[in-house]
Amino acid sequence: MSLKDHLLAHVALNGPMSLAEYMTECLLHPEFGYYTTRNPLGAQGDFITAPEISQMFGELVGLSLAQSWMDQGKPEKFVLAELGPGRGTLLFDILRATRSVPGFHAAAQIVLFEASPALRDIQRQTLTEYEPLWIDSVADLPEAPLFLVANEFFDALPVRQFMRDGDGWRERLIGAEGESLTYGLGPHAAQVALNDRIVDTEDGDLIELCAAAIPILTVVAGRIASHGGAALIVDYGDWHSLGDTFQALQAHQRVDPLETPGQADLTAHVDFEPLALAARAAGCAHTLLTPQGVFLERLGITARAQALAAPLGGSELETLVAAHRRLTHPEKMGNLFKVLGLYPSYAAPPPGLES
């Protein structure tokens, strides 16, 4: 039995499912799920992330977090956490870059939130010298100052899609026709969560809602508000969801999200506005949403690239120049990716995100 057979049987039994149910099954099904069964990252995989493009990304994120730790009086014990650590590359670079920050490593307890057993194994190998702790729920984050990064984590969380229809909404659902999965629309209904979007949408507009992000963000913001810390949330997306951003990537190519369930990475752009609202509701301050290119330039990526370039020539130099450009250029990841910083209202915002 394949995941597609399983989903077709599910639809036959229960009727059409929401996009969120479909994403959850495709990404996290215990036997067939995309993340549960494989390492999707890197040139041989399906997609590549900023820390996999260049060590500079993790180094600068590490220095921003370490500076926030110093600005907040160097708490003697704190949690250094990552949501969705992939191959562990980002945290590995963060820890390498902060080795020279006196007291930082000694005070840090490394905590990882990761759903995939396959990726946990790889993280264990990459980060073994730092003795990380894996948690199954974000609610298990220790009650301590929290310095956290999440890169391309929130885009993997399941979204529901709603199409504006007069004074209400119709949910976009996934059903079946013969042996194929197909899109359809649910019945017209009011949606309390979308009441405030009636004013700025028109008939036929599509809105995405990521309910799963809110409890996670609320815990993270709550820890930072009560114990201190900072969070850097990096993802592609924008402020205020509008339009269909549901997509599937396989071997670095966009594919039909319904064609090969469980074998392609499924994502949706992150709507940062509800994350910021949840942070505020938890008593935590947040920065302006800042383009990744601006964030990295403010942290000195150009100087870092020049230092790394000095001894290089030929193809190594070309790779470095291309990586710098890819991470920062507005037509590459520089503008598509955004950074939202969370911090306690009494403290300075994380470096790179000052308004």
Which C-beta is closer to ligand SAH: that of 89 or that of 241?
A: 89
The first and second tokens of residue 79, run together, are: 């949690």
Told to check if 35 binds ligand SAH by CB under 6 A, we report: yes
Told to check if 51 binds ligand SAH by CB under 6 A, we report: yes
DSSP letters spanning 88-110: SHHHHHHHHHTTTSTTHHHHEEE
CA 222 to chain centre: 19
Which C-beta is closer to ligand SAH: that of 116 or that of 161?
A: 116
Which C-beta is closer to ligand SAH: that of 72 or that of 328?
A: 328
Nearest approach in angstroms of CB 185 to ligand SAH is 26
Nearest approach in angstroms of CB 51 to ligand SAH is 5
Q: Using alpha carbons, list the distances in angstroms from residue 22 to 97, 180, 182, 341.
A: 39, 14, 12, 30
Tell which positions 146-205 bind ligand SAH, by CB under 6 A: 151-153, 156-157
By CB atoms closer than 10 A (0-12, 13-18, 19+), residue 99 is: exposed
Partnered with residue 306 across adjacent β-strands are none
Query: Which stretch in 12-20, 83-91, 183-191, 334-342 sits in contact with ligand SAH by CB under 6 A?
Result: 83-91
Three-state DSSP state, 131: coil
Three-state DSSP state, 208: strand
Query: Which stretch in 7-15, 46-54, 244-252, 333-341 sits in contact with ligand SAH by CB under 6 A?
Result: 46-54
Q: Are 89 and 52 in contact (CB under 8 A)?
A: yes
Three-state DSSP state, 183: strand
Q: Are 274 and 213 in contact (CB under 8 A)?
A: yes
Exposure string for 277-312, b = 16+ CB within 10 A, e = fewer = ebbeebebbbbebbbbbbbbbebbbeebbeebeeee
Among 78, 113, 169, 236, binds ligand SAH (CB under 6 A): 113
The first and second tokens of residue 265, run together, are: 């990475």
Residue of minimal CB distance from ligand SAH? 84
Among 90, 108, 276, 282, binds ligand SAH (CB under 6 A): 90
- Residue 289: left if φ>0, alpha if ψ -120 to 50, beta else—which one? beta
Among 25, 46, 59, 114, binds ligand SAH (CB under 6 A): 114
Among 54, 55, 72, 116, binds ligand SAH (CB under 6 A): 116
Q: At what angle do helices 89-97 and 55-71 cross, to 10 degrees?
A: 60
Query: Which stretch in 107-115, 163-171, 191-199, 301-309 sits in contact with ligand SAH by CB under 6 A?
Result: 107-115
Among 85, 229, 257, 349, binds ligand SAH (CB under 6 A): 85
Among 101, 115, 135, 185, binds ligand SAH (CB under 6 A): 115
Told to check if 262 binds ligand SAH by CB under 6 A, we report: no
Told to check if 328 binds ligand SAH by CB under 6 A, we report: no
> Which residues would be at the binding site for ligand SAH (CB under 6 A)?
27, 35, 41, 49, 51-52, 84-86, 89-90, 113-116, 119, 151-153, 156-157
